[in-house]
């Protein structure tokens, strides 16, 4: 899965001379939390709700709403924007984007291709991709199968039990932890009991088999 598959494409960008009060209006109107800043169509910064909040006068001050709005109207994006923006290309793997965010303790990456802003990807986009990858909303059954002897051909052997009974596998994941290997399979099937019996007949331990009734 690639960044281009999950990013918000062609995001709204603003010029560095835009006043902060107008930026706040844009954010509120469009439910944005961050906006790339460009000059001559090239990325030069990033403005976020957090940055604006950090640079705004404290709520404890005696400024009136009028005075606060006046100050915000006199402050340009360039004065407070993040200038060292971490970027990624649209063809990068999604896990690379996740690692960049984690490494730099940030919630989003601006996607840049050939010096042009083509998208934005956030931690929420990554989370949603993870949920979809594991088939959280897929209707059917979730099988958790413990594998004692993880070796070549295991997945093919396990899958044969599903194919034999006409099941359709929608998602598959493998976990390695505490010297154990678990295969998690989501499948649409008519007879989960028979699949369990077939798996057990091949000496696999079916830790769990639950029907998914969660809807998106």
Write the pLDDT tens digit of every residue in 117-162.
999 999 999 999 999 999 999 999 999 999 987 788 899 999 999 9
The answer for residues whose C-beta is within 8 angstroms of residue 36's C-beta and 6 or more apart is 11, 13, 14, 43, 45, 46, 85, 110, 117, 120
Helix axes 65-73, 20-30, angle to 10 degrees: 100
Contacts from 187-192 at CB under 8 Å and sequence distance 24+? 187/140, 187/141, 187/143, 187/162, 188/138, 188/139, 188/140, 188/141, 189/140, 189/141, 189/162, 189/165, 190/165, 190/166, 191/165, 192/141, 192/143
pLDDT of residue 128: 95
* Judgement on whether residues 44 and 114 belong to the same structural domain of the protein: yes
3-state helix/strand/coil string of 82-113: ECCCCEECCCCEHHHHHHHHHHHCCCEEEEEE
* Judgement on whether residues 120 and 139 belong to the same structural domain of the protein: no
> Both tokens of residue 136?
């959280």
Q: Please check whether residue 30 is in contact with residue 12, taking contact to mean a CB–CB distance below 8 angstroms.
A: yes
Report how many domains make up the chain: 2
pLDDT of residue 6: 96
pLDDT of residue 178: 80
pLDDT of residue 86: 96
pLDDT of residue 151: 83
* Judgement on whether residues 35 and 111 belong to the same structural domain of the protein: yes
Find the domain containing 118 and state its range.
3-131
pLDDT of residue 61: 56
pLDDT of residue 59: 54
- Tell me how far the alpha carbon of residue 110 is from its chain's centroid: 14
| Distance (Å, whole) CA 79 – CA 17 | 9
- Domain of 204, CATH number, reads 3.30.70.260
pLDDT tier for residue 113 given thresholds of 50, 70 and 90: very high
Pairwise pLDDT comparison (67 vs 114), residue with the higher score:
114
> Both tokens of residue 53?
């909040």
pLDDT of residue 13: 96
pLDDT of residue 65: 55
Pairwise pLDDT comparison (176 vs 124), residue with the higher score:
124
| Distance (Å, whole) CA 198 – CA 161 | 6
Write the pLDDT tens digit of every residue in 46-92.
999 888 887 766 554 555 555 666 667 778 999 999 999 999 999 99
* Judgement on whether residues 147 and 197 belong to the same structural domain of the protein: yes
Pairwise pLDDT comparison (67 vs 216), residue with the higher score:
216
Helix axes 123-133, 94-104, angle to 10 degrees: 140
Q: pTM to 2 decimals?
A: 0.82
Is pLDDT of 23 > 60?
yes
Query: Where a domain ends, among 131, 162, 192?
Result: 131
Average the pLDDT over 33-56 and give the result: 90
């Amino acid at each position: 899965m690639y960044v281009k598959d999950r990013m918000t494409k062609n995001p709204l960008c603003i010029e560095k001379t835009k006043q902060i009060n107008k930026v706040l209006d844009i954010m509120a109107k469009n439910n944005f939390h961050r906006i790339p800043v460009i000059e001559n169509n090239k990325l030069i910064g990033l403005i976020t709700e957090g940055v604006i909040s950090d640079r705004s006068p404290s709520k404890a001050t005696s400024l009136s709403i009028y005075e606060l709005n006046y100050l915000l109207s006199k402050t340009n994006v360039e004065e407070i924007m993040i200038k060292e923006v971490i970027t990624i290309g649209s063809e990068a793997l999604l896990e690379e984007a996740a690692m960049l965010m984690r490494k730099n303790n940030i919630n989003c990456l601006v996607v840049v291709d050939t010096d042009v802003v083509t998208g934005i990807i956030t931690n929420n986009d990554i989370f949603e991709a993870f949920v979809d990858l594991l088939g959280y909303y897929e209707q059917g059954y979730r099988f958790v199968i413990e594998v004692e002897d993880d070796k070549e051909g295991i997945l093919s052997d396990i899958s044969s039990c599903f194919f034999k009974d006409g099941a359709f596998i929608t998602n598959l994941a493998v976990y390695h932890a505490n010297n154990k290997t678990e295969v998690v399979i989501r499948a649409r099937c008519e007879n989960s009991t028979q699949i369990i019996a077939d798996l057990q007949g091949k000496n696999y331990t079916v830790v769990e088999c639950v029907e998914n009734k969660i809807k998106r």
